[in-house]
Structure 1
Amino acid sequence: MKHLPKHLRPRWRYLAVAIESWPDVDIDRRAFQRSVWYAAQNLLGDIGSAKTDMNVVEFAFADGAGHAIVRVRRDHVDDARSALTALGDIDETQVGIRVRGTSGTMRACEEKYIGGPAEPPAQRQVVFEDVTRDAVVRGRRVDVRTNDAFAGATELDLQ
């Protein structure tokens, strides 16, 4: 079987996506891909989601933070960005999704928007609501363990 000529092949764009959740959450690629498809289908309908053809080609998630590269058709980048921002939870776990940027190749997408590995989270004891508690610190964000879950905080909330 012959390959299609270059002018007939589908044109792709790659979206760099940042994913953030609570530190004790574990999300895998399959769950993220399923949520992306459902979000696209709910927002764009069956035909619109089929036209965008969103596929997760790279995924990494650990310690409550991660990234993904989502491949979409070139003419439907805006639709795909809208569908990704409509994504609020994965397997009933709340997540924060941010599209960092768009690129024409996977390599450029990785170099420009994803970079190296994320800094590892640090464990600390903090005073929150007048009680000493365990916390996970990632940059300027602090996730404080309460009795049964985490509470998001910043350095100003802890003083």
Structure 2
Amino acid sequence: MKHLPKHLRPRWRYLAVALEAWPDAEFSRRDFQRSIWFAAQNLLGDAGSADADLSVLQFDFADGTGEAIVRVRHGHVEEARAALACIDGIHGDEVGLRVKGISGTVRACEEKYLRRGGQLSDERKVVFEDAQRTAVSRDGLFDVRTDGAFVGATELDFE
């Protein structure tokens, strides 16, 4: 079977997506893909989500932060961004998504928008609500463990 000529092949755009959740959140690429499909289907309908054809090409998530590359058809970037904005949880874990940038190739998307070193996280003891607690620090922000859950905090919240 012959390949299609270049002008007949589908054109794609690649979205660099940053993921942020609590440090104990655990979900896989498959869970993220399923959340994207459900969000697109609920927002755009069956035909609209099939036209946008959102799929996760690369996925990396650990310790509450991660990055992904999501592929979308050329004319459906705004619909894809709207569908991603509808996602507030993945596999029972609360999550925040942010589109860092859009590119025409996977390589350009990786080079421009994704850092491959990862964020440095540090665990330390802090005083929060008049008690000593464990906190995970990332880029000057802290996630403090309180009674089995996490609370977001900054340096100013500590005594």
- Cα separation, 2, equivalents of 1:109 and 1:66: 15
| Aligned positions of 1:5-154 closer than 5 A | 5-154=5-154
> How much has 1:120 moved relative to structure 2?
2.5
Long gaps (5+) in structure 2: none
Amino acid at match of 2:29: R
Counterpart amino acid of residue 107 in structure 1:
R
* d(CA) in 1 for partners of 2:50, 2:119: 36
Runs of 4+ in 1 over 6 A off after TM superposition: none
TM-score (norm 1): 0.98
The count of corresponding residues between Structure 1 and Structure 2 is 159
- The answer to whether the Cα contact below 8 Å between 2:15 and 2:71 also exists between their aligned partners in 1 is yes
Structure 1: how far apart are the matches of 2:57 and 2:119? 23
* Cα deviation, residue 65, structure 1: 0.2
The 3-state SS of whatever aligns with 2:23 is: coil
- TM-score, with length taken from structure 2: 0.98
- Structure 1: gaps of 5 or more residues: none
Using the TM superposition, give the Cα deviation of residue 147 of structure 1 relative to its aligned residue in structure 2, in angstroms: 0.9
Let me know the Cα RMSD of the aligned residues. 0.8
Does the residue aligned with 2:25 lie in a helix, a strand or coil? coil
1:8-66: CA deviation from partner (whole Å, max 9, x where unpaired): 00000000000000101111100000000001011111111001000000000000000
Q: 1:54-88: CA deviations, max 9, x gaps?
A: 00000000000000000000000000001001111
Asked if 1 retains the 8 angstrom alpha-carbon contact of 2:26 and 2:93, the reply is: no
Contact preservation (8 Å) 2:13, 2:73:
yes
AA in 1 matched with 2:152: G
| Structure 2 residue identity aligned to 1:97 | L
* Deviation of 1:4 (Å): 0.6
Q: Report the alpha carbon displacement of residue 116 of structure 1 after superposing the two structures with TM.
A: 2.3
